[in-house]
Amino acid sequence: MPRRSDLSSVLVIGSGPIVIGQAAEFDYSGTQACRVLRDEGLRVILVNSNPATIMTDPEFADATYIEPITPDVVASIIAKERPDAILPTLGGQTALNTAIALDESGVLAQYEVEMIGVNTASIHLAEDREAFKEVVERCGAESARSSIVQSMEGALQAADELGYPIVVRPSFTMGGLGSGIAHDETDLRRIVGSGLHYSPTAEVLLEESILGWKEYELELVRDSADNVVAVCSIENIDPVGVHTGDSITVAPAVTLTDQEFQKLRDVGIAIIREVGVDTGGCNIQFALHPHTGRVVVIEMNPRVSRSSALASKATGYPIAKIAAKLAIGYTLDEITNDITGTTPAAFEPTMDYVAVKVPRFNFEKFPAAEPLLTTTMKSVGEAMALGRNFTEALQKGLRSIDTPEIAFDYSGPAPDADRTAELLEQIATPTPERLIQVQQAVRGGARLDQIVAATGIDPWFVDQLLLLQEVADEIAATPRLDADVLRRAKRHGFSDQQIGDIRGLSEATVRELRHAFGLHPVYKTVDTCAGEFPAIMPYYYSSYDTQTEVAPRKRPAVLILGSGPNRIGQGIEFDYSCVHAALALQDRYETVMVNCNPETVSTDYDTADRLYFEPLTLEDVLEVYRAESAAGEVAGVIVQLGGQTPLSLAADLEAAGLPIWGTSPSAIDAAEHRGQFGQVLLAAGLPAPAFGTAISLEQARQVADQIGYPVLVRPSYVLGGRGMEIVYDEEQLTDYLRRATGVSGSAAEHATLPAPVLVDRFLDQAIEVDVDAIYDGEELFLGGVMEHIEEAGIHSGDSSCVMPPITLSDSMVARIRESTEAIAREVGVRGLLNIQFALAADVLYVLEANPRASRTAPFVSKATGVALAKAAALVMSGMSIAQLRSDGVLPAQDAIATSPNAPIAVKEAVLPFKRFSTPKGNVVDTVLGPEMRSTGEVMGVDVDFPLAFAKSQAAAFGGLPMSGTVFVSVADRDKRSLVLPVSRLVELGFTILATAGTASVLNRNGIPCTVVRKASDGPGPDGQGTIVDLIRAGQVDMVINTPGSRRARADGHDIRTATTVADRAIVTTMQQFSAAVQGIEAQRRGPFAVRALQEYARPGGGLAAVETRPVQDAGPAVDEA
Amino acid sequence: MIRALETVQGSAYGPDEALLVLEDGTAARGRAYGAKGRAAGDMVFTTSMTGYQEVLTDPRHAGQIVMMTAPHVGNVGMIPEDSRSGRIWASGLIVRDPARRASHWRAETELDAELRAQDVVGIAEVDTRALTRHLRDHGVLRAGIFSGPHLPSVPGPQGIQPLLAQVRQSAAITGTALSEQVSTAAAYTLEPDGNPDQQGPTVAVLDLGMDTRTLRALTGRGLRAHVLPAAAGADQVLAGDPDGVFFTNGPGDPAEMDRAVEVARAVLAAKIPFLGLGLGHQILGRALGLETYALHAGHRGRNHPVQELDTGKVLITTHNHGFAVQAPTAEPIAEPAMSPYEGGRFGRVRVSHVSLTDQVVEGLECVDVPALSVQFHPGAGHEAGRPYDRFAAMISTDAATRVASEEN
Ligand SMILES: Nc1ncnc2c1ncn2[C@@H]1O[C@H](COP(=O)(O)OP(=O)(O)O)[C@@H](O)[C@H]1O
Ligand SMILES: Nc1ncnc2c1ncn2[C@@H]1O[C@H](COP(=O)(O)OP(=O)(O)O)[C@@H](O)[C@H]1O
Ligand SMILES: [Mg+2]
Ligand SMILES: [Mg+2]
């Protein structure tokens, strides 16, 4: 059936901020969908609150709403745009849940909007755990034995029948939120409690444990003619019990017999039909008993998912793109396979290589959390690697995740018998290091059966580790590293570095030797068909095999190095900039993307002209460069846009003779290196906070005394503020350094620290300002000045900020511009520059300068309508700002010189605290600090700050309360500024609860409030609950709690975590509090008005910056209804 | 390294090495796998990612050196019940990364051991993708695997020349009938599943070299299977008045199977319901007067989209065929056309299924006689089992009309 002619406009719902379990993969799928729908001539209306996405670039939709994805807001968009259809299957669980709400509330019917891709009934069948079990039964398959409960009593009763351990799984959540394994009644009470809370339907499923079974996934696609194809099978190396998002996985499945595979496929197809997914992709998970072959269906997701993004990248079969086409009426046989250009999409891809996905964790950001892998997903990103065999793919995958501890180490002495025995015990518990521990155990001589018994990992995989060990032994034992040994090592994925470590040689020496033998990888094509048909898509991966497939080319190439796996501090924002570079340069160059993140738009084969799915290490990048140089001229290599990962390769790549575009590696060093940067600032006449460096505790104390407390301490080389702390006194300093050295007692006094620590003067009560700019060597383009809402001291990635700045004077902005220009000039920037300033007592301090794409570049671009990253890529290619201005790429004036009716944009960070719990099973503390912990961000945009802020809160979490009860408990230093906002809340009708100290301040100021008991007071004589009890009971709608003295911290901790668990608004700084009060007032004036980016960009729409002439006196844009 | 023979260099051959030589002079050096010795045959590749055991034991691979495009082979060992026949039929095996150990609770032996036990010569650690691309571009080629005593004593081209000569002398499948070598030696009967005593309709099965799961599709539908050797003549097939006739799949070139074609014509003339599968489908084509031809590189794998032309539905099917039937008409392909044999003696025929990747005919259906055939394997229990259902239905309608006409 061809495309439906009755559809002319479609509303696509995105997935909102990047959170654990719902990440960049939905930008990839959503972007594909938008592209497809527009190519088909449909009017695309998009809603997504996440500005860091490619899909929210104005050119991907006809009307782009960066608005909160709440049923109310989406209903307003529907009322305004009147789309014919709504497509909710490409925006994760968020989109699906929003669509159900709109359907149930009658909005879809009222505006005659058809849900395409899926229907409410099938969503229910798939997502409602009990209904789904019946589906499975009707399909002649089995589910784990289980019982649905709606209450704690029910849970305890069911537990008696099922026996422990029991798996608890709430309905309608994603990424395993609120689920867990209960080994006893205490566990059960805790997990069921939170499960009942997180489930939108307040029900959880208790299930027979199938821990230790083999876990598989199947990606299926169905069209409206009921044709179904199985796109990919995925096997989890970690057995059932570790969430698939946290498992190391392999595609295709490698330990299934044909009969077993056929059974999974048949059951999968029967289920997709029975559930009634109309068109599009779905994901089904299976467990298979390793000794009986019994198959249990775990769950089904009736939408594209993280795994479908993985399957798409692993096979070259673009599930989301095809799902979008199917949703508007096409059938599989009518869609062409892009990769071959001749065969139809109605087939099942076959792979002649192996794909391995390795999750990336960030437990170090949450020191209080226990680094255990369970049924709740905790990884923040992933890397995929392709190889012609499992060992090659696995080792490439491990080096792709850019975590030095997570790599197979064969150097130095092997673990002794005691250590090996200890490792055998440790590997029974899944953690991020488990596979590394298994490898070390193998090194220490553990037997295959011992490892299989301890971990449940399939013997085939364990045997592959034995194989690696044999190769490592061979490398160690050979008298001479000859071509044969090297070839064998390479065939199994050993890096030059690993080989060098084993042989006591440098990586460079091994590389020289290898090159002398003429040993280089070849590049094979991901072609969906194992070579059966010619491929026309240059989607490559390396392998040490014999025949290369890289095609020669005529145009000069630009290599763009991506950012690797997402992690806290280096997320989707960097991918955004890389994609923009590819788009900006494709007219003049053959763009070549190098990246290893399967979730992203950059690794879509449609994005750049060529794609190399490769780890971002020196060795791998050098080989790609070599292969591309053989194919034609390579004009330049871009390392500035992918964040710290490619940036850290810059100097070595330059030394190897690669043409690095943009800011030179030595200039990058000048900005990153403390001493050199001090010189830069001196030359520019700009102040920085006083600082010193120390290599022992004693020295650190001296430095701190000189500078004066409070100080900010951190190890000398950090990313994303890792290991940073604000220290108020000597005692705290000693404590920090003891933790840093790991040495206790008096020995710590004189011990040398593992790395020097930097001690900075901490600027108290300073306003932090983030700046993004482009410099071409002569001229500066100021892209954006963002004023942080929180004071300096909260990582720029975690604090909310507003643009244009709302309290900075014009002269201050002018000063910021001058300072930025001076730094750009002194450092020698060519391209993007991001600077964080702190304004304290009218002195503008420079905190740091990053001569690279920043996390804020996409936000700034969305807020101003100027595509910064694109312009930066062009500047790096040698164009001047003046030229870009005359070409219309950049506006005549700085982007911040906006018209008076410019919209106000607020960026808010989204934090993952809920997913991390302490060994006691409590959620970790949620207070913000100089260490970045957010996973994503949202943008709220409107005519004024209060509205924009309120929108940002609604988008980031449930939103600010309209009315109800507010609990206030602040640190002493904040008590003075408390009065005004609290009295305003009282005027608005809120009830105020406070702890004794805060209450007495309020009472003395004539503000009525009720005193509540602190958690440390315990329950009252008449059984009155503490504040924590009240929060848990859902009786508090917002909590204001600023952390104060150490003594108060423990109380604060309980309050904040209880609030986080209860999903209520929590405010931990006074600035946030004022903003929140303003936001509450604003949202009480009526429902949010919605406006598309395209409307803002229109003449008079407020973003006059993109026009050559400032628009005066233009009234607000007219909404077309 | 796969390369033209002239450029093969290097050191003397080690005892565990093996050499693959193609008739066009391409050669690759790898490691010996399975038995050591010499294998010869048409080299074909299959893109199935699972099921190397099913592939190797499929009689349709008789006379072929099979290359698996999936890199890891042997992971689940060998499981006797899963075999497609009692032995390995492929004459040689080419893989990239053979398993070092089998990992499956049902596995009884390792693939490597089984290859050695059945004296099947293999080669491992060659660039299977490069070789696949080579076959894709050049079509099926004869090849030889040489290891152990058959390795040349001198390295380089002059050592390989004699091996190349051997490869060029070996028989190709095009032009060879193989069914009789593979088929059952004696006739036998299988009763319908679940009711051994009941007299279900009987189907005469001409075993052209089928795999064992084929009959399950009949007995599972309440049909009795009376299986005959490939050499059986029309009198034997029609003896006992069968309710239907089934020509199975099997190896070899259909153009060389005149006798089977004649048997098919006798069945069509008698208007007995006929089902052809694989080779049996090609025989039906020939019986109707259609030509068969060798495919460039063949269809081998489990991911082939086939469209059912009357419904438009796409079936994902398992293929293993190197020959195909020429379509009776040009566009539109689904239109019935007069079958060419003897000026339309068997009436009209239409193409019922086509491959979506290359439009090859994948099924035929006669309009005026009760006969149909499919090229692909409909599978058991899968959605693609419709041809068997149609056949069973044809048999019962036929029986009903017969009963009706007898009553009249
Ligand atoms: N009955 C069970 N026993 C043990 N582990 C289970 C069970 N059911 C699911 N799991 C594990 O929990 C993980 C998450 O469960 P799943 O149903 O897939 O939830 P989600 O919606 O978060 O993906 C699975 O990947 C699996 O490893
Ligand atoms: N001297 C200082 N005084 C106050 N706050 C600071 C100071 N230095 C850094 N910060 C805070 O710490 C955060 C992280 O520091 P920064 O140097 O930007 O590290 P990163 O490289 O992780 O971005 C900043 O965003 C700022 O809020
Ligand atoms: Mg899941
Ligand atoms: Mg910073």
Sorting pLDDT into bands at 50, 70 and 90, what band is A573?
very high
Say whether A227 and B314 touch across the interface (CB within 8 A): yes
Is pLDDT above 80 for B380?
Answer: no
Lowest mean per-residue pLDDT among A495-504, A559-568, A676-685, B288-297: A676-685
Query: Which residues on B lie below 8 Å from A389 (Cβ)?
Result: 71-72, 96-97
Task: Give the pLDDT of residue A924.
Answer: 77
Q: What are the pLDDT digits (tens) for A721-730? A: 457 888 888 9
Q: Is any Cβ of chain B less than 8 angstroms from the Cβ of A469? A: no
Render the burial of A554-580: b for 16+ CB within 10 Å, e for the rest: eeebbbbbbbbbbbbbbbbbbbbbbbb
A902-917 pLDDT, tens digit per residue, is 899 999 999 888 788 7
Quote the pLDDT of residue B332.
67
What integer pLDDT is reported at residue A1050 of this predicted model? 58
pLDDT at A215 over 70: yes
Tokens of A472: 């490592």
Backbone dihedral region for residue A743 (phi beyond 0: left; psi -120 to 50: alpha; all else: beta):
beta
* Model ipTM value: 0.95
| Ligand 2 pocket mutation, candidates A570, A691, A707, A712, criterion most atoms within 8 A of CB | A712
Chain A residues with CB inside 8 Å of B58's CB? none
Sign of the Cα torsion A284, A287, A288, A290 reads positive
CA of A180 to the centre of ligand 3 (A): 13
**A2 reaches B (C-beta below 8 A):** no
Cis amide leading into A252 (omega within 30): yes
Ligand nearest to the CA of A129: 1
- Band (pLDDT 50/70/90 cuts) for residue A964 is very high
- Tokens 């290091």, residue? A433
Residue of B nearest to A334 (CA): B356
pLDDT at B408: 52
Render pLDDT for A271-290 as a digit per residue (tens, 0 to 9): 999 999 889 999 999 999 99
Q: Give the residue from A1, A340, A352 with the most B CB atoms within 10 Å of its CB, the best one to mutate.
A: A352
Q: Select from A25, A244, A310 the residue to mutate for testing ligand 1; criterion: most ligand atoms less than 8 Å from CB.
A: A244
Confidence of residue A1113 (pLDDT cuts 50, 70, 90): very low
Q: Which residues contact A428 (CB under 8 A, 6 or more apart)?
A: A454, A455
Whole-angstrom distance, CA of residue A193 vs CA of residue A182? 12
Q: Do A533 and B136 touch (CB under 8 A)?
A: yes
What's the confidence (pLDDT) of residue A716? 66
Per mean pLDDT, which range of A1065-1079, B27-41, B228-242 is the poorest?
Answer: A1065-1079
CB atoms B303 and A349 under 8 Å: yes
A998-1004 long-range contacts, Cβ below 8 Å, gap at least 24?
A998/A968, A998/A969, A998/A970, A1001/A975, A1002/A968, A1002/A978
By the CB < 8 Å criterion, does B2 face chain A?
yes
- Does A459 contact B at CB distance below 8 Å? yes
Q: State the best of A265, A460, A519 to mutate against chain B, taking most chain B CBs within 10 Å.
A: A460
Per-residue tokens: A288: 């298979």
- In chain A, the largest separation of any two C-alpha atoms, in whole Å, equals 86
Q: Which of A382-386, A619-623, B386-390 has the lowest mean pLDDT?
A: B386-390
HSE value, Cβ hemisphere, 13 Å, CA-based, for A386: 30
Which residues in chain B have Cβ-Cβ distances shorter than 8 Å to A258? 48, 50-51, 53-54, 82
A:123-142 residues touching chain B, CB 8 A cutoff: none
Residue B316 to residue A390, Cβ atoms within 8 A: no
Residue A269: pLDDT above 90? yes
- Round to whole Å and give the CA distance between A485 and A544: 13
Q: What is the greatest pairwise CA distance in chain B?
A: 84
pLDDT at A1058: 79
When CB atoms are compared, the residue of A229, A259, A331 closest to B82 is A259
> Any residues with CB less than 8 A from the CB of A451 and at least 6 apart, and which?
A424, A427, A438, A441, A442, A457, A462
Q: How would you list the strands of the sheet with A752-761, edge to edge? A: A691-696, A752-761, A711-715, A725-727
DSSP A576-589: HHHHHHHHHHTTTS
* Residue B14 with chain A: CB contacts under 8 Å: none
Question: What is the C-alpha to C-alpha distance for residues A947 and A806, in angstroms, rounded to an integer?
Answer: 13
Q: Which of B10-24, B44-58, B228-242, B375-389 comes out lowest in average pLDDT? A: B375-389
Q: CA-CA distance, A600 to A642, in Å (whole number)? A: 12
Q: Is the CB of A759 under 6 A from ligand 1?
A: no
Taking residues A611-621, what's their average pLDDT? Answer: 98
Chain B (299-328) residues lying within 8 Å, Cβ to Cβ, of chain A: 301-305, 307, 312-314, 316
A459: chain B residues, CB-CB within 8 Å: 101, 103
CA of A794 to the centre of ligand 2 (A): 7
Nearest CA to ligand 1 atom 5: A241
Across the interface, of A344, A354, A458, the residue whose CB is closest to B356 is A344
Q: How far is the CA of A424 from the centre of ligand 1 (A)?
A: 25
E strand intervals along A827-984: 831-840, 843-850, 904-910, 936-942, 965-969
What percent of chain B shows pLDDT beyond 90?
Answer: 79
Provide mean pLDDT across the span A1059-1066: 80
pLDDT at A633: 98
Residue A284, both tokens:
């089904």
Distance CA B230, CA B209 (A): 8
How far, in Å, is the centroid of ligand 1 from the Cα of A248? 15
Omega cis (within 30) before B155: no
Amino acid A1121: pLDDT: 34
Residue A462 Cα, ligand 3 centroid: separation in angstroms?
24
In this predicted structure, the answer to whether residue A237 has a pLDDT above a threshold of 90 is yes
Predicted confidence (pLDDT) at residue A773 exceeds the cutoff of 70? yes
Using 50, 70 and 90 to split pLDDT, how confident is the model at A848?
very high
Chain A's closest residue to B296, CA to CA, is: A532
The residues whose Cβ lies within 5 A of ligand 4, an ion, are: A 796, 836
CB contact under 8 A, B54 and A351: no
Give the residue on B whose Cα is nearest the Cα of A1.
B312
- CB-CB under 8 Å, B129 with A531: yes
Please name the residues in contact with A39: beta carbons below 8 A apart, sequence gap of 6 or more.
none
Q: Do B307 and A333 touch (CB under 8 A)?
A: yes
pLDDT at A1112: 38
The ligand placed nearest to the CA atom of residue A720 is 2
Interchain proximity B47–A532, CB inside 8 Å? yes
Instruction: For residue A244, give the ligand 1 atom closest to its CA.
Output: 25
Is the pLDDT assigned to residue A600 strictly greater than 50? yes
Residue nearest to atom 19 of ligand 1 (CA): A176
Look up residue A407 and give its amino acid: A
What confidence score (pLDDT) does residue A258 get?
Answer: 95
Q: How confident is the model at residue A1120 (pLDDT cuts 50, 70, 90)?
A: very low
Give me ligand 4 centre to Cα A159, in Å: 49
Separation CA A740–CA B131 (nearest Å): 56
Model confidence at A416, pLDDT cuts 50, 70, 90, reads: very high
Q: Is the per-residue pLDDT at B199 higher than 80?
A: no
Q: Which of A925-929, A993-997, A1103-1107 has the highest mean pLDDT?
A: A993-997
Q: Residue B4: its pLDDT value, please?
A: 61
Q: What's the 3-state SS for A202-271?
A: CCEEEEECCCCCEEEEEEEEECCCCCEEEEEEEEECCCCCCCHHHCCEEECCCCCCHHHHHHHHHHHHHH
A243 lines ligand 1 (CB under 6 A): yes
Closest listed ligand to the CA of A236: 1
With a cut of 50, say whether residue A1111 has pLDDT above it. no
Query: Lowest mean pLDDT: which of A206-210, A665-669, A1051-1055?
Result: A1051-1055
**Does residue A247 have a pLDDT over 80?**
yes
Mean pLDDT of chain B: 91
Half-sphere exposure of A709 (CA within 13 A, CB side): 12
Q: Evaluate whether A20 touches A380 at the Cβ level (below 8 Å).
A: yes
The H-assigned helical ranges of B64-188 are: 111-117, 128-138, 157-169, 179-182
- Reported as a single tens digit per residue, the pLDDT across A740-760 is 666 555 655 666 776 788 899
The most confident of the ranges A93-97, A494-498, A1030-1034, B182-186 is: A494-498
Q: In the structure, what pLDDT confidence band is assigned to residue A1107 with cuts at 50, 70 and 90?
A: very low
Mutate to test the interface with B, among A491, A545, A549, A550 (most CBs of B within 10 A): A545
Residues in chain B within 8 Å Cβ distance of A354? 71-72
Is A256 near chain B, with CB under 8 Å? yes
Q: Which ligand is nearest to the CA of A456?
A: 1
Q: Which chain B residue lies closest to A267 (C-alpha atoms)? A: B382
Please give the pLDDT value at position A1119: 42
Look at residue A750 in the predicted model and tell me its pLDDT. Answer: 65
Residue B6 has what DSSP assignment? G
Residue A230: list chain B partners with CB under 8 A.
316
